[in-house]
A = this chain, B = another copy of it.
Amino acid sequence: MFRAEIKVMLKKGVLDPQGGAVERSLHALEYDNVSQVRVGKYMELTLDAADREAAKQQVREMCERLLANPVIEDYTFDLVEV
């Protein structure tokens, strides 16, 4: 069994309205030392797979097909055996 931790972010170069808003709010709270805020999605799921390689393969596929939109998003993930 594997636990996959998946991060999905807007591609570099695609303007991130949420990131911008969070950054402005942080500045309003006087965290002036904060910059380059980006907001994305984080997902966790449990996967019953034969081995790490199979799990990796499957998670990649799920990301490509459903979890991320390749037109505007990039994804990365970690796998933890559980």
A side interface size, CB within 8 A: 32
- A48 interface residue per 8 A CB criterion: yes
Interface residues, chain A, CB within 8 Å of chain B? 7-9, 19, 22-23, 25-26, 29, 31, 33-49, 58, 62, 65-67
Evaluate contact between A66 and B29: CB separation under 8 angstroms: yes
Q: Contacts A35-B45, A43-B39 given; indicate if A22 touches B67 (C-beta within 8 A).
A: yes
Evaluate contact between B41 and A42: CB separation under 8 angstroms: yes
Choose among A35, A42, A46, A66 the residue with the greatest number of B CB atoms under 10 Å from its CB: A42
Residues of B within 8 A of A31 (CB): 58, 62
CB<8 Å pairs between A and B, sample of 23: A7-B42, A8-B42, A9-B42, A9-B44, A25-B66, A26-B45, A26-B62, A29-B66, A33-B49, A34-B46, A34-B47, A34-B48, A35-B48, A36-B45, A36-B46, A37-B44, A37-B45, A38-B43, A38-B44, A39-B41, A40-B41, A40-B42, A41-B41
